[in-house]
Amino acid sequence: MTTALHYFRWAFIVTFVGLVLAAWLGWIYTHSVTGIMAFLFVGVVLSVLEISLSFDNAIVNANKLQEMTPVWQQRFLTWGILIAVFGMRIIFPLLIVVFAAKIGPWQAIELAATQPEEYSRIIGEAHLSIAAFGGAFLMMVALKYFFDEGKDVHWIAAIERGMARFSSIQGLELAIVLSIILIFASIMPEAVLATFLYSAVAGLVTFMAVDVLGHLLDRSQEGMDIAVKGGLGAFLYLEVLDASFSFDGVIGAFALTQNLFLIAIGLGIGAMYVRSMTIMLVERNTLAQFRYLEHGAFWSIFILSCVMFGQTLGHIPEVITGLLGAGFIGVALWSSIRWNRLHSGTEAEI
């Protein structure tokens, strides 16, 4: 039987290499032992931040991967992690500066290397757009899970049963998210109202486009080889979902350091642990063993979406987001263990 540590061997290797690079960066920038220790400490904190904010992402990824063929599972766990680490943790912050400052990619890299404070300021100015987009997209992800007519297992029963009961109403999730957007728009300063509305609606459109595209791709492949069928749509969905999860971690990282390269190292290490947890959840069929764990993950996603909407009005510390998400998952895990112990067929709902 494969031990738990076996799944994390690559994460451990990346951790070692990443911390060596972080120490090297500390020496390059400060030429002191104190600087090396400071860079190492921030790198570790960033890794923990990424893991705490993305554990629910691992659970959702594992659930979707179970529906995919082995070929597409492997593609997501190889190509997908490369896109996640290099695309969202390195290229995405650079693209924000490229478009916001209207400079070239190489100039953005130079700005990150030589003027980290200015780079951080530009990233901060884009926070409203990112939070509105991510909040709308992730809220749709969460509501789509709960407003499911075929969902027959409920954790927070009073709420989840009610949502499942009304799931036959077409577009109800969209109406809820649009209502929340309108509420926030009514109290949003006029100077940033257009930016907020444009970004939030873009998040909704992106979710709907990925959802429709996934269905079309999977349906068009029904007559193809089973190794291809049903994979591409789910792959695209997971990539966009991972990007939305990454927004909070990338923006929060700039509160700890303005060094783009240290951020990429720290968040990249964390992303490898998320990948390892995803593989372990899939191969050990952990979601089936803990019946409410997935529910906790989607409640965590819903809380994260609410926090991101809240961040359009003011700063909310990332530690709060991480603790809330971990709290829901922890309680869901405890509820699952309690149900397993009872083993009586009576759902231990709370």
Q: What's the pLDDT score for residue 23?
A: 92
Residues 61 and 242 sit within 8 Å (Cβ to Cβ): yes
CA distance 42 to 269: 12
Which residues have C-beta within 8 Å of that of residue 288, sequence separation ≥ 6? none
Query: 258-269: buried (b, 16+ CB within 10 Å) or exposed (e) per residue?
Result: bbbbbbbbbbbb
| Averaged confidence pLDDT in the chain | 79
**In the chain, domain spans:** 4-342
> Could you give the percent of the chain with pLDDT greater than 90?
11
**pLDDT given for residue 226 in this prediction:** 44
DSSP 314: S
Which stretch of 53-57, 109-113, 265-269 has the lowest confidence by average pLDDT? 53-57
Name residue 116's amino acid.
Answer: P
Task: Give which of 306, 327, 329, 330 is closest to 316, Cα–Cα.
Answer: 306
Q: What is the pLDDT of residue 323?
A: 75
How much of the chain exceeds pLDDT 70, in percent?
A: 83
For position 178, what pLDDT does the model report?
95
- A 10 A CB-CB count for 116 gives 19
The pLDDT, as a whole number, for residue 277 is 82
Confidence of residue 179 (pLDDT cuts 50, 70, 90): very high
Residue with tokens 């899970």: 145
Evaluated on CA atoms 54, 85, 61, 301, the torsion sign reads positive
* pLDDT for residue 194 is more than 80: yes
Of 37-41, 125-129, 151-155, the range with the highest mean pLDDT is 37-41
pLDDT of residue 339: 85
CA 165 to chain CA mean position, Å: 28
Give the lowest-confidence range in 23-37, 80-94, 109-123. Answer: 80-94
C-beta separation of 190 from 33 below 8 A: no
**Residue 251: pLDDT band by 50, 70, 90 thresholds?**
low
Max CA pair span of the chain? 63
- What is the mean predicted confidence (pLDDT) over 60-70? 76
Rounded mean pLDDT, 176-194 = 93
pLDDT at 343: 61
What was the pLDDT predicted at 217? Answer: 59
Contact 62, 224 (CB under 8 A): no
Instruction: Tell me which range, 72-76, 181-185, 292-296, 301-305, is most confidently predicted by mean pLDDT.
Output: 181-185
Give the model's pLDDT for residue 350.
45
Q: What is the pLDDT of residue 204?
A: 92
pLDDT confidence of 2, banded at 50, 70, 90? low
Nearest CA-CA partner of 93 in 126, 137, 117: 126
- Count the neighbouring beta carbons within 10 Å of the beta carbon of residue 307: 21
Q: What is the mean pLDDT of residues 131-154?
A: 84
Give me the mean pLDDT over the 168-177 stretch. Answer: 88
Contact assessment for residue 25 and residue 246, using Cβ atoms and an 8 Å cutoff: no
Cα-based angle 86, 312, 181 (whole degrees, multiple of 5): 105
**DSSP assignments along 244-287, one per residue:** HHHHHHHHHHTTT---HHHHHHHHHHHHHHHHHHHHHHHHTTHH
266 has a pLDDT exceeding 50: yes
pLDDT at residue number 295: 85
